Amino acid sequence: MQATEPRDPAEPDALSAPGPEAVRRARLAVLACFLIQGASFAVLVTRVPAIQDRYHLGDGALTIVLSLVPIVAGVGSLLAEKLAARYGSHHVLRTAQPVVCASVLGVGAGDAVWQLASVLVVFALALGAVDATMNMQAIGIQARQGRSVMNGFHAAWSLGGIAGAGLATFADHKDVALVVMYALSAAITAPAALLIGRHYLPTATTTETATATQPETAAATAPKTAAATANESGSAAKTTPTLPWRTIFPLCAVMAFVYIGDSAVSSWGAVYAEKAQDMDDNTALPYLVYMVTALLGRGLGDLGVRRWGALPVVRAGALTAAAGFAAVVAAPNPAVALAGFTVLGLGISVLVPQTFAAGAETSPDDRDTAIARLNLFNYAGFLIGTPLVGVVGDLAGFRAAMAVPLVLVLAILPLARAFAPQGEAGHGIGRRTGSGR
């Protein structure tokens, strides 16, 4: 694909502002994209025990193989940053998401570890690209609508995750073969991803931006000296902004802390339920109530940002999540523990969407780069959190292990000023992004 290829006549010019109807269609398409991504990820991770049995993997080998996913997804996110700058996030997203949907079929079809590893590399590269570019699209839509909508997109991801986990659980209980379940998932999600891709929000590439800003006067076409030509070439080479890491470092830390907390629940919630609360027959309940209240929190989160602003919502979310972890740590019985996971999901739900929104607000001229880099710390948090909580759990028990994310969630509070980079906490990120490009 070349950046200068003729544009589809049916596709709006990326450099012209799309009309309200185009933005509305794009919002619905990106909501569906988040839903599909959540479902595709959930159908994979909720069948890990069956995958382990199919490929005859020990616990150590399984850990190594599964670690490929966040590591390679980080590479995919970095590639998405470069590809989106050259081709536009809409083209990268509409290409990568069908790959995510279809590649899960290979997990169920193989029978050798090298085949599983190969499929997971493809899955993870596409996963990282989709995670980055779907958030680029969501931020672009929020900027054009001039109000907070990021939480709603992530609510769609949570809903898709619940639906995918439900399908996987049903297939497990009915002893449906992995390849059949993944074929059914791919048959639903891959065509849907292809269908919605044509409605994504067109975004300007660096080449298009440079072309649009070239002088159109007669003087621009006049003969130039060698020095003038060199200067102009140097200017064109700088059309891609460079974002210093220090600009978004506090937000990167927040993203990592949140995903350490999330991985504590998703990876170890069932173990905590069994070993700390003797919930042998209900070990899935902690993650279930966590997911349901995360969906609820994200569904209501945009209303809170519009009413009070991003900074108060983030602080309230961090404090609520900390209260939930504290209840889990101190719970004298399963009922209190489940109440803790319920509160935790409600509080932690708003932190990731608002971190992406704050990254775009902090770096309005480099927002796609900021999104791709923040997305890396999604995977870093998971890679750190899962083994960290597991080691503490082995040494001191899983009740004490849940204190690790409790401390890290509280550490978000002194970093919260990064969510109001212009000192306008009362108005919230969603309203200020109305002036975004």
Q: pLDDT tens across 369-388, in order? A: 999 999 999 999 999 998 99
Residue-level pLDDT at 239: 46
Residue-level pLDDT at 64: 86
Q: How far apart (Å, rounded) are the C-alpha atoms in residues 80 and 45?
A: 23
Contacts for 51-54: CB closer than 8 Å, 24+ residues apart: 51/107, 51/116, 51/178, 54/108, 54/111, 54/178
Other Cβ atoms less than 10 A from the Cβ of 195: the count is 11
Residue indicated by tokens 């775009």:
360
Residue-level pLDDT at 425: 54
Q: Take residue 394 and report the two structure tokens written for it.
A: 């082995």
Residue-level pLDDT at 216: 44
Contact 406, 325 (CB under 8 A): yes
Residue-level pLDDT at 9: 42
Contact 338, 289 (CB under 8 A): yes
The runs of H, that is alpha helices, within 281-397 are 285-308, 310-330, 334-348, 351-362, 367-396
Residue-level pLDDT at 256: 97
Contact 322, 409 (CB under 8 A): yes
DSSP category for residue 201: P
Report the SS3 class of residue 427.
coil
**How open is the CA angle 250-255-259, to the nearest 5 degrees?**
150
Contacts for 285-292: CB closer than 8 Å, 24+ residues apart: 285/338, 285/341, 286/337, 286/338, 286/341, 287/341, 289/338, 289/341, 289/342, 289/345, 290/265, 290/341, 290/342, 290/344, 290/345, 291/158, 291/161, 291/162, 291/165, 291/345, 292/162, 292/345
Residue-level pLDDT at 430: 41
Residue-level pLDDT at 423: 62
Please give the radius of gyration of the chain, using alpha carbons only, rounded to the nearest integer: 23
Instruction: List the chain residues with pLDDT less than 70.
Output: 1-16, 204-242, 421-437
Report the SS3 class of residue 157.
helix
